[in-house]
Amino acid sequence: MPVKPLPFGKAQAQQIAAQYPTPFYLYDAAGIRRCVRALHQAFAWNKGYKEYFAVKALPNPAILRLLKEEGCGVDCASYTELLLAERLDLVGDAIMFSSNDTPAEEFAYARRLGAIVNLDDISHIEYLERHGGLPGAICCRYNPGAFSLDRNAIMGDLHDSKFGMTYDQLIEAMRILKAKGVQRFGLHAMLISCALDEGYYAALAEKMFLLALDIREQTGVTVSFIDLSGGIGIPYRPHEAPVDIARVGKAVRAVYERLVAPAGLEISLFSELGRFITGPYGYLVSTVLHEKHTHKDYIGLDATACNLMRPAIYGAYHHITALGKEDAPCTHTYDVTGSLCENNDKFAVDRMLPRLEAGDIVAIHDAGAHGYSMGYNYNGKLRCAELLLEEDGSVTLIRRAETPADYFATLDTSGLFGDLK
Amino acid sequence: MPVKPLPFGKAQAQQIAAQYPTPFYLYDAAGIRRCVRALHQAFAWNKGYKEYFAVKALPNPAILRLLKEEGCGVDCASYTELLLAERLDLVGDAIMFSSNDTPAEEFAYARRLGAIVNLDDISHIEYLERHGGLPGAICCRYNPGAFSLDRNAIMGDLHDSKFGMTYDQLIEAMRILKAKGVQRFGLHAMLISCALDEGYYAALAEKMFLLALDIREQTGVTVSFIDLSGGIGIPYRPHEAPVDIARVGKAVRAVYERLVAPAGLEISLFSELGRFITGPYGYLVSTVLHEKHTHKDYIGLDATACNLMRPAIYGAYHHITALGKEDAPCTHTYDVTGSLCENNDKFAVDRMLPRLEAGDIVAIHDAGAHGYSMGYNYNGKLRCAELLLEEDGSVTLIRRAETPADYFATLDTSGLFGDLK
C-alpha cells in the first residue's frame, strides 16, 4: 500500500506522549510547507495568483502564521475567523471573506479589516451597503444549478445548494455593483468537494473564464480575479493517488492561454484550499486503552469522535498506523472505537491491522483538515492538544488540551465550578 | 397537525431576545417536571425504581438540579459528567456510571464517588479492580447480538454494536464477581434507540427478567436491579404520537408480575432516559437573517448546525414554528439554513411554512436533548446561551453564550488573545 511514510515513529510519539498525554494532534510543518510551495510553483505563471487558506480547515494561529510566511492569505467565514486573521496581521487583500447567510456585524467587521468580500447572494449588495458599505474589490459567488464540466465528464447539480447566485442574478449583480462604483470585480464558484480528478480546476476555470467574457459583453464589467475556491481533494484511502498540483496548474494555464489572454484580459486566480494543504499533514495520535472481544473484535482508543468526527458522521475512511508495527502483517480485523455512548463512535470498521494491545500508540492519518476544527464536547469529552512537528524535528505545543474548567466555563454564574483550574 | 403548543409566544420571545440575543435554547421547566412525574407515577408500583437521567442529553446543572428535586439520579459516562454530578451532590447510588472503553481515571473517579458501576466488558472486571477496586453494587451490560422482542415483532441485531457482553461472558462475569464478593448485582441492556413503540420496555423487561432467572439458576447470583437504559423516543414529526408512559409502566408491571414475583425475586427497575425527559421541552430560538431566492427559496437563520447538529448530520426532522404566525397558512416551501460553509447546514429542506422574512423569530422544536450537548465550533461559530423558562413564567440564564475569549481559550500561550473578554 503506497501509504505516505509517517514523519515520526514510535519512539518520538512515546516521548511526546510523556509530556503531552494522548490523544493529540500532530501537524507536520515541513509537509505543509512543501505542499504550499508546490501549489505556488504550479500557479507561478499567473500574475496575482494567491491562495487564501480556508481557515475552517485548521484554525490554529501557528499554522496560519506558517502559511502567511509562505505567502498565503486567509479565507474567513465568521467573526472569530476574522479576529484570528486580524491578530496575525492578515488584513486587507490578505482576507477573502467568503460566507453565506451573513450576520450584519460580520460584514461590518470584514469591511473594517479591508477584506475582499465574496457575496453569496444578490440581496447582500444592499445589506452590505447598510452594514459596512461596499468595498473597492468585490467578488460574486456563482451557482450554475445543473452543470457539466465537459472535458472531465464531471456532471453535477447545485439546485439544492444554498450557496451562490443564479446566472441571471450574477449578471444583474455586476450591473448594480458597477453602477455603485465598485472598481475590482471577481467571480467565485465551488462545484464539487474533495475532487481527486486532476482536471477539475481546469474545467472549472474554463467555465469561469467564459463567464467572465460573457459578463464583459453583457455588462461592460471587467473581471480581474477568479476564485476557484476549494474542492481539490486528498487521497484518504491507500489505493488513491494524490493530485499532482503541477499538472493542475499546467492544465489551468492552457485554458487561460486559450481563452483569457487572446481576449486581452488579465485575470488573477485565487484558491481557497484547506484540506489539500493541511489534510495529509495532520495526525491524530491516540493510545489503545482496551481490546474487547464480543461478537466482533474491538480496539478501544483514548480518542473519540469528539476529537475527529469524520469517520463517525460521514463514515469517512482514515488510514491507521500502529506505531512500531508499521511492517507487521495486518492479520486482525478490528472495529477501532472511541468511548462515546454512540455506536457510530468508530474510527474504523472491519479494518485489517496488526495485532494490537493496550498501550499501543496509533496514528490516524489525514486528520489535518476538518479534524480538530469539527471537534465537539459530546458526552462531556474534552478536546485535545495540537502540536506542531517543526522542521528541525522538535515539537511545539500550539494548542493546549481543554480542562474541566474550559468545559464548564460558560456555567461561571452557577457558582459550582469557580475553583477549577 | 397535533403539534404541542409552545409554552411561550412571540411577545415573550422578543422580550427575552432583547436581553439575550438569539439564538438561544429555552427549556420548559414545567414540561420537564410533568414528564418526570408521569414517569415516576408509571413505575411507582416497582420498589426501588429510579430514573438515572442521561446527562449527555442535556448536561446543564440547572436542569440536573431540577431533576434531582424530582428524585432522579444521573447516568454519567465521562469524567466531566461525574464532576458535574459531584458538584450537585449527586453521589453514591445516585450515579449510574455507564460507560465503555473506559479510561482508568474515570473508573477511579466513579469509585471515589461511590457510583454504581455498569461494566461494558468482561475485561473491565480486572481493570476496575486495578483502578479503583470493585464496588459493592455492580451492573453488567448485555449485548444479545441478534434479538427479537417477540411480543412487538421488534427484531434487531447488535452484532455490530460495540456495547456490552455476550451471553456467555455475562454468565462468566457474574460468577467472577460473585467469587470476588460483590453484593448487589444488576443487568443493563439497550436494544434500540428512540423507540415510539410502547411495547419496547415491556419486551426488553421480559428478556431481562428471563435472563435474571437464568443467571440465578446458572450461577446462584440474585440480580437485584435491572437497568432498562434509554431507548424510549419522542415524536419529532407532527403526525407521530407521544409514548404514553403510564401504559409502558403498566405493561412492564404485567411482565414483572408474571415472571419475577412468582419466582420469589424482588428486582428494582432503573431507567436512563434522556431524550424522553427533556427532548420535547427544549426549543432552539432563532431569528431570520436573510431570505434568498435562487434555484430554491431559502430562509437563513442566525442559528447554525453548531447549535443543533441533528438535522445536518442525521437529516433529523425538527418541527419549526414561526412565532406570531402559528395560525398562518403554510404557503411557502423553504430550505431553512444556517450560515456554515457546509451545504448540509439546513434545519429543514423543502419545509412548508408561512411566508417568512428577516426579523421573524422561529422556534425549532424538540431540541431539549442531544441539542446543545452536541454543539460544536465549526467555522469558528460560538455556542449559544441556555435559558430556563421557570414555572412562574420568568426566565433564568442557565448558561451564558460563548464569547471569542472562550473560543480562543486553549490558545492562551499564543499571546494573541489575552485581552479578549
Q: Where are the alpha helices (DSSP H) in A364-417?
A: 404-407
Give the separation between CA B31 and CA B38, rounded to whole angstroms.
11
Segment 114-133 of chain B within 8 Å of chain A by CB: 120-121, 123-124, 127
pLDDT of residue A421: 78
For the stretch B341-368, pLDDT in tens is: 999 999 999 999 999 999 999 999 999 9
User: Which residue ranges form the domains of chain A, and what is each CATH number?
Assistant: 10-25+280-409 (2.40.37.10), 29-279 (3.20.20.10)
pLDDT of residue A65: 98
pLDDT of residue B155: 81
Give the separation between CA A65 and CA A130, rounded to whole angstroms.
33
Q: Which residues of A fall within a CB distance of 8 Å from B96?
A: none
pLDDT of residue B359: 98
CA distance to A375, A397, B408, B413, per residue, from A406 (Å)? 14, 18, 11, 15
Q: Closest Cα to residue A364, out of A54, A6, A1? A: A6
- Is residue B107 predicted with pLDDT exceeding 60? yes
For the stretch A283-340, pLDDT in tens is: 999 999 999 999 999 999 999 999 999 999 999 999 999 999 999 999 999 999 999 9
Give the separation between CA A319 and CA A3, rounded to whole angstroms.
9
Give the separation between CA B26 and CA B397, rounded to whole angstroms.
9
ipTM over 0.95: yes
Give the separation between CA B300 and CA A256, rounded to whole angstroms.
36
Q: Closest Cα to residue B190, out of B172, B208, B173, B175? A: B208
Give the separation between CA A16 and CA A145, rounded to whole angstroms.
49
Give the nearest chain A residue to B165 (CA atoms). A294
Q: What is the three-class DSSP state of A106?
A: helix
DSSP A259-293: HTGGGT---EEEE--SHHHHGGGEEEEEEEEEEEE
Cell 441539542: give the residue.
Answer: B371
Q: What pTM value is reported for the model?
A: 0.97
* Range A326-332, long-range pairs (CB < 8 A, 24+ positions): A326/A6, A328/A354, A328/A355, A329/A354, A330/A354, A331/A355, A332/A297, A332/A356
- Is residue B279 predicted with pLDDT exceeding 60? yes
Which of A67-81, A117-131, A141-155, B122-136 is predicted least confidently? A141-155
For the stretch B216-233, pLDDT in tens is: 999 999 999 999 999 999
For the stretch B281-290, pLDDT in tens is: 999 999 999 9
CB-based contact A337 B162, cutoff 8 Å:
yes
Best mutation target among A130, A294, A412 (most B Cβ atoms within 10 Å) is A294
Of how many residues is chain A composed? Answer: 421
For the stretch A231-271, pLDDT in tens is: 999 999 999 999 999 999 999 999 999 999 999 999 999 99
Q: Closest Cα to residue B51, out of B81, B94, B16, B86? A: B94
pLDDT band at B30 (very low <50, low <70, confident <90, very high): very high
For the stretch B384-420, pLDDT in tens is: 999 999 999 999 999 999 999 999 999 998 999 999 9
Angle of helix A61-69 versus helix A79-87 axis, rounded to 10:
60
CB-based contact B101 A338, cutoff 8 Å:
yes
- Is residue A189 predicted with pLDDT exceeding 50? yes
Q: Are strands A137-141 and B346-353 parallel, antiparallel or unpaired?
A: unpaired
3-state helix, strand, coil in chain A (%, to 5): 35, 25, 40
Cell of B125: 472486571
What share of chain A has pLDDT > 70, as a percent? 99
CA distance to A59, A74, A83, A277, A399, per residue, from A86 (Å)? 13, 10, 5, 21, 19
pLDDT of residue B3: 72
Asked whether the beta carbons of A202 and A251 are under 8 A apart, the reply is: yes
Q: Closest Cα to residue B55, out of B273, B215, B204, B318? A: B273
Mean pLDDT of A132-144: 96
CA distance to A359, A377, B60, B177, B417, per residue, from B402 (Å)? 36, 14, 15, 46, 15
- Is residue A20 predicted with pLDDT exceeding 80? yes
Asked whether the beta carbons of B93 and B116 are under 8 A apart, the reply is: yes
Instruction: Kindly state whether B375 is in contact with chain A, defined as any CB-CB distance less than 8 angstroms.
Output: yes
- Is residue A1 predicted with pLDDT exceeding 60? no
pLDDT band at B5 (very low <50, low <70, confident <90, very high): confident
Mean pLDDT of A67-78: 98
Give the separation between CA B299 and CA B232, rounded to whole angstroms.
33
pLDDT band at A3 (very low <50, low <70, confident <90, very high): confident
Give the separation between CA A115 and CA B80, rounded to whole angstroms.
41
Asked whether the beta carbons of B86 and B107 are under 8 A apart, the reply is: no
Give the separation between CA A322 and CA A334, rounded to whole angstroms.
13
Give the nearest chain B residue to A312 (CA atoms). B313
For the stretch A80-136, pLDDT in tens is: 999 999 999 999 999 999 999 999 999 999 999 999 999 999 999 999 999 999 999
- Is residue B1 predicted with pLDDT exceeding 70? no
Of B162, B338, B416, which is closest to A87 when you measure between CB atoms? B416
pLDDT of residue B151: 65
Q: How far is A67 from chain B (nearest CA, A)?
A: 16
Instruction: Kindly state whether A45 is in contact with chain B, defined as any CB-CB distance less than 8 angstroms.
Output: no
Instruction: Kindly state whether B421 is in contact with chain A, defined as any CB-CB distance less than 8 angstroms.
Output: no
Q: How far is B123 from chain A (nearest CA, A)?
A: 7
Asked whether the beta carbons of B302 and B22 are under 8 A apart, the reply is: yes
Q: Are strands A282-293 and B361-364 parallel, antiparallel or unpaired?
A: unpaired
Residue A262 burial (CB count, 10 A): 8
